[in-house]
């Protein structure tokens, strides 16, 4: 039986009569104060930023973070500034009580769960915008997305004061943007990338997988199948990136439910399209299947 007692911006969760080690914080000032307390105690803070509706992929990032942390902080915030017009901000799946229980079970010390007006108060007008990296891949069809990501992550770093933050490689462009931002702005935060966590059939775990119907599953699986095809072609000596893209595109287009946003082979550091595989190369995919916009990526050579 779980009881809850509220104290200002904190929520303490007690289980079986004993107070647990997790607390939720909803205001920036309270989170900054807690972070300063943890640092004064000599504790190493690791942050895992999320938009909630947690799945095993998020939990794998928490476990990775815990290996480097004295205090793990998980943020749960559906960031409105990274959604464009007509995207699924209002429909984005949410289940805060379940998320909080999972964070507690994984050993998080703090859940930071602010409301939008706490992060973007009235009159907010300051944003973080990168010049080049957001213009590739997802940034072409989601022009406001990475400005929203860079802004909210910068704010989270200033509020939580982590020594390190963990992001998943499934959102490889996001990870690349954040690493560049941290270098460019001299932010004192180490960035750790966690490998893509997949479901048993190979589909990259995503909160948006909840949108898929059973009939749409084969189309969704064409993403991982096309990535394996690309890797196999590269292993067999294919160096023409255009041929690899054409083969992957054909595999995905064999499913009428799948609508390709992009299929690209890119330099993993600059995200620029490659014509030949004469160095490190990574394939990136974004495909709409029903209501779900799915992304995936894989190093192919």
Candidate list 58, 136, 145, 163, residue with the active-site label: 58
The Cα 253–Cα 37 span in angstroms is 54
The Cα 68–Cα 46 span in angstroms is 7
Known catalytic residue at 58: yes
The Cα 60–Cα 169 span in angstroms is 12
SS3 of residue 68 by DSSP: coil
Buried b (16+ CB within 10 A) or exposed e, 198-223: ebeeebbbbbbbebbeeebeebbbbb
Residues forming a β-bridge with 169: none
Q: Are 164 and 192 in contact (CB under 8 A)?
A: yes
Q: Are 234 and 282 in contact (CB under 8 A)?
A: no
The Cα 16–Cα 36 span in angstroms is 30
CA dihedral in degrees (11, 88, 182, 118; nearest 10)? -40
Q: Are 205 and 197 in contact (CB under 8 A)?
A: yes
How far the first Cα of the chain sits from its last, in Å, is 52
The Cα 79–Cα 52 span in angstroms is 10
Q: Which residues contact 215 (CB under 8 A, 6 or more apart)?
A: 257
Catalytic residue annotation = 58
């Amino acid at each position: 039986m779980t009881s809850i007692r509220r104290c200002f911006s904190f929520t303490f969760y007690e289980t079986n009569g004993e107070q647990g080690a997790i607390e939720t914080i909803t205001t920036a000032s309270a989170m900054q104060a807690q972070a300063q307390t943890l640092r004064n105690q000599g504790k190493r803070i690791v942050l895992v930023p999320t938009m909630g509706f947690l799945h095993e992929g998020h939990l794998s990032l928490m476990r990775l973070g815990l290996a480097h942390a004295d205090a793990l902080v998980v943020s749960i915030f559906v960031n409105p500034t990274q959604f464009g017009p007509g995207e699924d901000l209002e429909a984005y799946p949410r289940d805060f009580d379940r998320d909080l229980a999972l964070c507690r079970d994984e050993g998080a010390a703090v859940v930071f769960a602010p409301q939008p007006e706490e992060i973007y108060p009235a009159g907010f007008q300051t944003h973080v915008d990168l010049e080049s990296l957001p213009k590739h891949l997802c940034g072409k069809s989601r022009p406001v997305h990475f400005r929203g990501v860079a802004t909210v992550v910068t704010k989270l770093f200033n509020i939580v004061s982590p020594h390190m933050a963990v992001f998943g490689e499934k959102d490889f462009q996001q990870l690349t943007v954040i690493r560049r931002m941290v270098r460019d702005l001299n932010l004192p935060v180490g960035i750790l990338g966690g490998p893509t966590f997949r479901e048993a059939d190979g589909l990259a775990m995503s909160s948006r997988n909840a949108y898929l119907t059973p009939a749409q599953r084969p189309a969704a699986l064409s993403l991982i199948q096309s990535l394996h095809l690309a890797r196999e072609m590269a292993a067999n000596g294919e160096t023409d990136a255009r041929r690899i893209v054409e083969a992957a595109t054909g595999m995905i287009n064999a499913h009428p439910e799948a609508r390709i946003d992009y299929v690209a082979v890119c330099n993993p550091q600059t995200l620029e399209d490659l014509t030949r595989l004469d160095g490190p190369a990574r394939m990136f995919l974004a495909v709409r299947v029903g209501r779900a916009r799915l992304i995936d990526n894989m190093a192919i050579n």
